[in-house]
Structures are given as C-alpha cells and as structure tokens.
C-alpha cells in the first residue's frame, strides 16, 4: 500500500474552476469495479427469478397435498413456501429499486430498499412462526386423522423443489443481506419438508399423529433463530449502526498517529448505507491552514485504502477550533452542528470513493 504521507505522482492540482478543498477521488479501476458489481446484480437477480419460479410452482401442489392429507407439517411447509414466494418477489423488487440512480429526492439512491426488504422478510418469518405454533398447540389438543401416504409423497417432492431453490440461491453474493433473507426463507422450507417426511414415516408405521405438530413446532424454533439474526442485522443498518468490523475510536487514534500535523479528530461518525457501503464523517483540526488541502487528500486516501470506506466526509478546522472543542468527545456528535463549524472555520470538504459504488 502506498504511504499516505507521500504525495503520489497521479495526484495533480485541482483543475481550474474546481472549488478548493472540495475533491472527488476517481480510482483508476472504477470501471472494473462497476462492471463486477453490475455482473453480480444481474447474476443474483437471475437466481431470484429461478427460485421464484420453482417455489411458486410447487407451493400450490403442496397446499393441495396438505389439505388432502390433513397434515399440519405439510400445510406449514406449504404456508412457508407461499411466504417464500412473497419474500423472493420482495427481494427482486428491492434489487430493482436499488439499481435506480440517485435523485434530488433520494440523494443516496434507493440502495437501502434491499435492507428494508430483509427487515420485512424477518418480520414475515416471525408472523408465520406465531401462526404455526398456535396451530400446533391446537392440533396437540385436538388430534385428527392424517393420510400419511399422500403426506410422504408430497413432502418428498417438496424437499426436492426446496433443494433446487436453495442450490440456486446459495451461490449468490453472501454479503448481500437481501439475498441472505431470501435464502433463510428457503432453508426454513427445507427443514419443514424434512419434518414432514419424518412425521409421515412415523405416522405410517406407528399411527402417532401427535408427531406432526411436534415436529412442526420444533422446526419453528430453528427458523426463529435465523429470523432473529436477520432482523437484528437489518435493524442495525436501518438505525445507522456502526459496522461490526470497524471501531470509531480505533480509527480516530490511527488518524492521529498517521497524521502528526493533525491536532485533533472529533465528531467522528461511522455508519452504513448498506452492508457493503460503510460511510465516515469527521472533523480534523489542523493548526496550519495552509496544509488543509494536502491533509484532506491524504487522509481521504488513507481511510479509503485502510478501511475501505465508500465515502468519506472530512471537515478541516483551525487551531482555534481545537481549543473550542477540547471539552467534546472525540467520537460522535457534539452540541455544535456541522454548518456552525463550517461558518466558523471556513473549511468543509468531501471525497467520494467511486470504486465501491455499486
């Protein structure tokens, strides 16, 4: 990695007409990264479409089989497949929205539609779990006859369809929360099909119909674990949480150590637009304002290369601002707004990493 303290030959003075202190960084491999991201989007979209066709086609068959056999495990799996169909359709819609360009109304674009889709999918899983648990308790109290032969045939076919859908989705971008949400739904289907097969075999050879709701409720517990992780992760992103692999205080100390000409770093905030796009905003205090542009360029490059930030927003302040903010914490916001600081120091700058934009 190039030393951020050493000016690079490729870094030239701002062109005429550019605002001093405001610089957009264009990586030379921007086109390559953009092409790869587009290819991933296309591949994942195609996977979702194939999974949607497989799940949707068999959901109707399993619903009919569950009603005929009177099996809760089979009806539960069919109901889960219906929610999967809706979840995958939602994931497809979210990917379409995320690919749309930014507008004046949505300046970040609609990339967070994928996170919102994952959040809704997690809630849908919990709603399905609640219904199946209640129905399972009702079946335990009021057992009824189950046609194990029909149940076994349909459950085996359902398992095959779910395995195909899982195989299609499993090769997708695992860093994409939206795709993980769709895959979690299908994984729940596989568990439901296995439970239905086991219940059908036990009922056929023992006549113990209570195993049907018991296995259904056991599968619900397993699905709830995946649903909880998905809900927690999507909520963290929607609530502007810091990425798990980044520590704001560690970043602050690293900047102070790497750039000795920086007196202080404060108002440092780290968040995510999506899981793949971490953002950072901070104030850097530089005693010599003549070094402002140089520090800005090198600090932006350091943050991009060392921590892979999609976008860095750096406000450079003078020594007077350092004394004024001495009582404020280094990480997080303070009482003074960014606009107030800008008016006082007259130095605000922003850099954008194009290579990470999808």
What confidence tens digit (pLDDT) does each residue in 71-125 have? 877 777 777 777 778 778 877 888 788 888 888 888 888 888 888 888 988 898 8
Predicted local distance difference test score (pLDDT) of residue 5: 42
Strand partners, 269: 281
Sheet holding 349-352: strands in order across? 264-274, 277-285, 311-317, 349-352
Q: Tell which wins on pLDDT, 298 or 107.
A: 298
Which of the four pLDDT bands, split at 50, 70 and 90, describes residue 314? very high
Q: Is the pLDDT of residue 339 over 80?
A: no
Interstrand relation of 264-274 and 277-285 (parallel, antiparallel or unpaired): antiparallel
Q: pLDDT above 70 covers what percent of the chain?
A: 75
Shared fold status for 34-238 and 248-356? no
Neighbours of 164 (CB within 10 A): 16
Predicted local distance difference test score (pLDDT) of residue 174: 53
Predicted local distance difference test score (pLDDT) of residue 14: 40
Average pLDDT of 285-308? 88
What the block records as the tokens of 216 is: 């259904």
Predicted local distance difference test score (pLDDT) of residue 319: 62
Average pLDDT of 238-255? 93
Rounded Cα–Cα distance for residues 225 and 191 (Å): 13
In 3-state terms the chain splits into helix, strand, coil percentages (rounded to 5) of 65, 10, 30
Predicted local distance difference test score (pLDDT) of residue 333: 53
Q: pLDDT above 90 covers what percent of the chain?
A: 19
Average pLDDT, the chain: 76
57-78 burial code (b ≥16 CB/10 A, e <16)? ebbeebbebbeebbbbbbbbbb
CB 330 within 8 A of CB 252: yes
Average pLDDT of 290-310? 90
The 10s digit of each residue's pLDDT in 181-196 is: 778 778 878 888 888 8
Average pLDDT of 159-164? 88
Predicted local distance difference test score (pLDDT) of residue 282: 94
Instruction: Measure the CA angle with vertex 301, ends 296 and 306; round to 5°.
Output: 130
75 closest CA partner among 162, 225, 192: 192
Q: Tell which wins on pLDDT, 171 or 155.
A: 155
Q: Tell which wins on pLDDT, 44 or 15.
A: 44
Predicted local distance difference test score (pLDDT) of residue 161: 87
Q: Could you tell me which CATH class the domain 34-238 is placed in? A: mainly alpha
- 318, HSE (Cβ side, Cα atoms, 13 Å): 10
Domain extent listing, the chain? 34-238, 248-356
Average pLDDT of 277-295? 87
Predicted local distance difference test score (pLDDT) of residue 280: 95
Predicted local distance difference test score (pLDDT) of residue 250: 95
Predicted local distance difference test score (pLDDT) of residue 83: 73
Rounded Cα–Cα distance for residues 276 and 294 (Å): 28
CA 34 to the chain's CA centroid: 19
Q: Tell which wins on pLDDT, 315 or 173.
A: 315
What the block records as the tokens of 335 is: 């009482």
Residues 6+ apart with CB under 8 A from 26: 354
Q: Tell which wins on pLDDT, 304 or 99.
A: 304
Q: Is the pLDDT of residue 271 over 90?
A: yes
Q: Could you tell me which CATH class the domain 248-356 is placed in? A: alpha beta
Long-range interactions of 338-344: CB distance < 8 A, separation 24+ = 338/267, 338/281, 341/267, 341/283, 341/315, 341/317, 342/315, 344/317
Which of the four pLDDT bands, split at 50, 70 and 90, describes residue 32? very low
**Range with lowest mean pLDDT among 28-37, 140-149, 291-300:** 28-37
Rounded Cα–Cα distance for residues 78 and 216 (Å): 12
List C-alpha distances in Å: 230 to 144, 176, 224, 296: 35, 11, 10, 37
Rounded Cα–Cα distance for residues 116 and 107 (Å): 17
């Amino acid at each position: 990695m190039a030393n951020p303290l050493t000016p690079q030959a490729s870094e030239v003075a701002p062109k005429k007409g550019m605002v001093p202190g405001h610089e957009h960084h264009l990586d030379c491999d921007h086109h390559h990264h953009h092409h790869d991201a587009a290819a991933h989007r296309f591949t994942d979209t195609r996977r979702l479409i194939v999974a949607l066709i497989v799940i949707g086609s068999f959901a109707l068959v399993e619903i009919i089989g569950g009603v005929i056999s009177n099996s809760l495990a089979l009806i539960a799996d069919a109901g889960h497949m219906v929610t999967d169909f809706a979840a995958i359709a939602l994931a497809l819609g979210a990917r379409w929205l995320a690919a749309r360009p930014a507008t004046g109304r949505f300046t970040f674009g609609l990339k967070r539609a994928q996170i919102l889709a994952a959040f809704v999918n997690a809630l849908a899983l919990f709603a399905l779990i609640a219904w199946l648990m209640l129905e399972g308790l009702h079946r335990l109290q009021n057992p009824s006859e189950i046609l194990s032969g029909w149940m076994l045939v349909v459950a085996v076919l359902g398992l095959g369809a779910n395995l195909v859908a899982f195989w299609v989705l499993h090769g997708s971008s695992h860093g994409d929360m939206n795709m993980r949400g769709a895959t979690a739904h299908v994984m729940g289907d596989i568990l439901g099909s296995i439970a239905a097969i086991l219940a059908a075999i036990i009922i056929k050879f023992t006549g113990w119909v209570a195993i049907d709701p018991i296995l259904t409720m056991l599968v619900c517990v397993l699905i709830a674990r995946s649903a909880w992780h998905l809900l927690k992760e999507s909520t963290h992103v929607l609530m502007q949480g810091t990425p798990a692999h980044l520590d704001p205080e560690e970043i602050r100390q690293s900047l102070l150590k790497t750039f000795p000409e920086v007196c202080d770093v404060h108002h440092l905030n780290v968040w995510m637009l999506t899981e793949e796009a971490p953002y950072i905003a901070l104030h850097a205090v530089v005693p010599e304002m003549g070094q402002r542009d140089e520090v800005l360029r090198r600090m932006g490059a350091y943050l991009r290369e060392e921590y892979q930030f999609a976008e860095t927003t750096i406000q450079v302040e003078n020594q007077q601002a350092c004394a004024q903010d001495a009582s404020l914490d280094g990480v997080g916001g303070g009482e003074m707004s960014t606009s107030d600081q800008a008016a006082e120091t007259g130095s605000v700058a922003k850099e954008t990493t194009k290579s990470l934009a999808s």
